[in-house]
């Protein structure tokens, strides 16, 4: 396309939309900063004039048309990818996640495979840009496909994207017809979930391997063994708030031991919104820093505040990254991360950064991107100040942010017998404000304006498993008898927060097969909400669950469980652990069943040692229930976790999308 043609097209687009503004009414914005209600015809004044910057025929990742552009007067960008006419089936898919500049090829391929064009924006949050782009894409699609019929649309997003889906599903009509929020956050999630896990790291990190072994396959299950009364109390607190106990198997990830900010990446938000909290934490009654208790003593012993001098500054791994050493190394009792401030010769600050300490190399990692004055000041001999007063205080900030609504029953551990908070409360309530910002003003009312399937994962230590169930309860409370016609909740076992190809969330546990790739489950949810909206075909029933003391569990029987994920069990002659000598044959027996209406088993894959080397087993066609036996031997002593992964689908082996997996594992100790 020539530059002249591109400019002409942009001008034409602006003219058309400007004309429509005069005819269509602006979208209504309620008083008091409430969310804007957007329908199929109103015009959002902030995104009134879309401008096309590029329009090109493409052959990859699919054959079709790609349209890119922005909205006049903003940096709000959009991208549409249309499959060729013979592949389109009257719908579009739109995956959302904040600040994602480009759409992934796999997302486009999934849409095209289902007869959908793809809508994408680089939204920073909320639903308004996504809605404006979706409506504009319909006008282009109508012209490209030569249709005047209804175009159905579906919005889906996980983690931060789930907030945007909630905003869309509660505040738009006629833009989308279905939605799938997955691994979703709530009005209590950010920053609390991360601070809660940092609290666990402060108190329980030295017991991490013991707790991990207890929850691993064949473990004792007794996570409190070997803990003091104080430590047991902390483990109970974080567990009842929602940290899944089984997530402790990957304690490295749960505790943020390899995370650069030590799970305190939102510390700056607390410092900006509540600057006096740190002083109150260390000096006032009701705060752990001033508490006369074993736990209070631990916190005070973990505190460091002192000045030192840089004795070594070495380039690190990455641009603007340095590894620095100080003359006076932190004591063994210190908690990290720490705020490291570099001082200029005149005593003023050159910069301050939150950093972890590498005890092996006795160094701090300093990332100076965006901090030029800090980079200039990193010189041998420069004075530095180390202080972890704020990081320590943040680990119990959640205690002072208890939600007012009694619906959040997971927070009851921080309430007294009268339902009142046990600790002094702080304002503002950060998590509520963050949720409102990212949703675009939504209140999590549960008042769905189109159908939705909520997907949550039972090993999710980032967005706790109860989050989706809590919101589903809100929907049922708000919609009453209509709820079953509008929503479903599907819970997935052996899945955590990260989607795509997951290897133990990138932690030190990376060689152990313990998680599924749940992307196919999300894809099937999008397909099912589409069939529900277009054809009236109800999706699989919601997953049954038990919620007790912050922990979610599901039935072991497929028909009782519901949802779409197969139930898989693996045993060693009825047990989950065996002790054998080298060379002794070990019989592994798997049983799996697919819930009603969720398709058939298409794959059974074994890992004899629990690593990622999977070996496929033969599966007879059209099987909803399978039983298989595998015999293995081990030549070397050690502890192994044999695993089996079972995959089902409704479209057969030829479909790469919508594959639904589950796995099971056992422990074999070889002597």
Tens of pLDDT, residue by residue over 624-660, are 999 999 999 999 999 999 999 999 999 776 788 999 9
Query: ∠ at Cα 123 (153, 77), nearest 5°?
Result: 90
Per-residue confidence band for 619, with pLDDT thresholds at 50, 70 and 90: confident
pLDDT of residue 500: 64
Tens of pLDDT, residue by residue over 139-151, are 999 999 999 999 9
Per-residue confidence band for 461, with pLDDT thresholds at 50, 70 and 90: very high
Per-residue confidence band for 613, with pLDDT thresholds at 50, 70 and 90: confident
**282 versus 23: which is more confidently predicted?**
282
Per-residue confidence band for 512, with pLDDT thresholds at 50, 70 and 90: low
Q: Which residue has the tokens 């910057």?
A: 53
DSSP letters for 359-411: TTTTEEEEE-TT-HHHHHH--TT-EEEEE-HHHHHHTTGGGG---S-TT-GGG
| Averaged pLDDT, 542-558 | 97
Q: Does the structure show a pLDDT above 80 at 30?
A: no
| Averaged pLDDT, 416-420 | 97
pLDDT of residue 13: 46
Please tell me the least confidently modeled range out of 94-98, 240-244, 364-368, 541-545. Answer: 364-368
- At residue 480, φ and ψ (nearest 5 deg) are 60, -130
pLDDT of residue 507: 43
Please, are residues 217 and 576 in contact by the beta-carbon 8 Å criterion?
yes
Q: Does the structure show a pLDDT above 90 at 422?
A: yes
Give the Cβ contact number of residue 5 at 10 Å. 10
Please state, rounded to an integer, the average pLDDT across all residues of the chain: 93
Question: Where exactly are the structural domains of the chain?
Answer: 3-150, 192-293+395-414, 304-387, 566-671
pLDDT of residue 31: 73
pLDDT of residue 23: 54
Q: Does the structure show a pLDDT above 70 at 504?
A: no
Report the percent of the chain where pLDDT is more than 90: 85
| Averaged pLDDT, 73-86 | 96
pLDDT of residue 662: 97
| CA-to-CA separations, 51 to 130, 132, 254, in angstroms, rounded | 15, 12, 44
Q: Is 88 exposed, middle or buried (0-12, 13-18, 19+ CB in 10 A)?
A: buried
Q: Which of 619, 370, 650, 432 is nearest to 531 (CA)?
A: 650
- Report CA Rg, the chain: 27
CA distance 144 to 457: 39
| Averaged pLDDT, 87-91 | 98
Report the percent of the chain where pLDDT is more than 70: 94
Q: Does the structure show a pLDDT above 60 at 10?
A: no
**360 versus 80: which is more confidently predicted?**
80
Tens of pLDDT, residue by residue over 325-364, are 999 999 999 999 999 999 998 889 999 999 999 989 999 9
Q: pTM score > 0.85 for this model?
A: yes
Please, are residues 649 and 557 in contact by the beta-carbon 8 Å criterion?
no
Q: Is 162 exposed, middle or buried (0-12, 13-18, 19+ CB in 10 A)?
A: buried
Q: Does the structure show a pLDDT above 70 at 511?
A: no
pLDDT of residue 318: 80
Tens of pLDDT, residue by residue over 143-192, are 999 999 999 999 999 999 999 999 999 999 999 999 999 999 999 999 99
CA distance 508 to 519: 23
pLDDT of residue 28: 84
| Averaged pLDDT, 398-402 | 99
pLDDT of residue 362: 93
Tens of pLDDT, residue by residue over 41-50, are 999 999 999 9
Task: Report the CATH number of the 304-387 domain.
Answer: 2.40.30.10
CATH class of the domain comprising 566-671 = mainly beta
| Averaged pLDDT, 51-69 | 98
pLDDT of residue 620: 83
3-state secondary structure 580-591: ECCCCCEEEEEE
| Averaged pLDDT, 303-323 | 92
CA distance 96 to 404: 30
Tens of pLDDT, residue by residue over 98-117, are 999 999 999 999 999 999 99
């Amino acid at each position: 396309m020539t530059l002249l043609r591109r400019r002409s097209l942009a001008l034409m687009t602006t003219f058309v939309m400007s004309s429509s503004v005069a005819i269509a009414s602006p979208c209504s914005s309620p008083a008091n900063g409430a969310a804007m209600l957007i329908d199929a015809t109103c015009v959002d004044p902030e995104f009134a004039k879309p401008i096309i910057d590029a329009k090109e025929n493409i052959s990859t990742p699919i054959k079709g048309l790609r349209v890119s552009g922005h909205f006049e007067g903003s940096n709000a960008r959009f991208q549409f990818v249309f499959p060729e006419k013979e592949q389109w089936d009257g719908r579009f898919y739109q995956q959302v996640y904040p600040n994602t500049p480009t759409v992934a090829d796999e997302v486009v391929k999934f849409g095209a495979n289902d007869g959908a064009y793809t809508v994408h924006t680089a939204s920073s949050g909320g639903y308004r840009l996504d809605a404006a782009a979706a409506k504009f894409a319909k006008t282009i699609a109508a012209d490209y496909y030569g249709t005047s019929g209804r175009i159905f649309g579906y919005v889906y997003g996980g983690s931060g994207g789930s907030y945007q889906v909630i905003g869309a599903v509660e505040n738009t009509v006629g833009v989308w017809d279905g939605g799938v929020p997955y691994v979703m956050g709530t009005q209590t999630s950010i920053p609390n979930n991360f601070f809660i896990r940092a609290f666990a790291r402060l108190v329980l990190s030295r017991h991490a391997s013991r707790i991990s072994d207890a929850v691993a396959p064949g473990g004792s299950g007794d996570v409190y063994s070997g803990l003091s009364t104080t430590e047991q109390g902390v483990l109970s607190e974080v567990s009842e708030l929602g940290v899944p106990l089984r997530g402790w198997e990957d304690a490295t990830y749960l505790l943020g031991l390899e995370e650069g900010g030590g799970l305190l990446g939102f510390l700056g938000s607390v410092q900006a919104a509540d600057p006096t909290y740190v002083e109150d934490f260390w000096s006032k009654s009701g705060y752990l820093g001033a508490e006369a208790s074993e736990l209070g003593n631990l916190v005070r012993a973990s505190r460091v505040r002192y000045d030192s001098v840089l004795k070594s500054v070495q380039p690190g791994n990455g641009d603007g990254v340095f590894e620095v050493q100080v003359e006076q190394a932190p004591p063994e009792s210190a908690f990290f991360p720490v705020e490291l401030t570099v001082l200029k010769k005149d005593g003023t600050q050159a910069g301050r950064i939150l950093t972890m300490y590498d005890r092996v190399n006795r160094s701090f990692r300093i990332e100076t991107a965006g901090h030029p004055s800090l980079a200039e000041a990193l010189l041998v001999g420069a004075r530095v100040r180390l202080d972890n007063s704020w990081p320590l205080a943040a680990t119990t900030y959640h205690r002072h942010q208890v939600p007012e609504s009694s619906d959040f029953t997971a927070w009851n551990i921080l309430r007294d017998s009268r339902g009142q908070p046990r600790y002094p409360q702080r304002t503002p309530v950060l998590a509520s404000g963050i949720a409102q910002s990212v949703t675009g003003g939504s209140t999590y009312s549960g008042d769905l304006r189109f159908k939705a399937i909520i997907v949550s994962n039972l090993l999710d230590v980032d967005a706790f498993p109860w989050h989706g169930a809590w919101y589903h309860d809100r929907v049922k409370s708000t919609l009453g008898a209509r709820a079953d016609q509008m929503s479903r909740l599907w819970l997935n076992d052996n899945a955590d927060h990260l989607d795509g190809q997951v290897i133990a969330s990138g932690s030190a546990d990376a060689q152990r097969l313990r998680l599924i790739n749940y992307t196919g489950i999300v894809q099937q949810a999008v397909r099912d909400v589409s069939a529900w909206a277009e054809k009236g075909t109800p999706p699989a029933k919601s997953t049954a669950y038990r919620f007790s003391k912050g922990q979610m569990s599901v039935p072991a029987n497929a028909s009782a469980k519901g949802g779409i994920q197969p139930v898989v069990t693996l045993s060693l002659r009825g047990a989950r652990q065996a002790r054998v000598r080298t060379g002794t044959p070990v019989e592994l027996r798997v049983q799996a069943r697919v819930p009603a209406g969720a398709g058939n088993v298409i794959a059974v894959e074994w890992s004899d040692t629990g690593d990622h080397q999977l070996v496929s087993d033969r599966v007879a066609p059209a099987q909803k229930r399978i039983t298989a036996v595998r015999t293995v031997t081990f030549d070397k002593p050690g502890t192994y976790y044999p695993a089996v992964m079972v995959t089902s689908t409704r479209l057969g082996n030829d479909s790469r999308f919508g594959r639904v997996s589950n796995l099971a594992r056992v422990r074999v100790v070889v002597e």
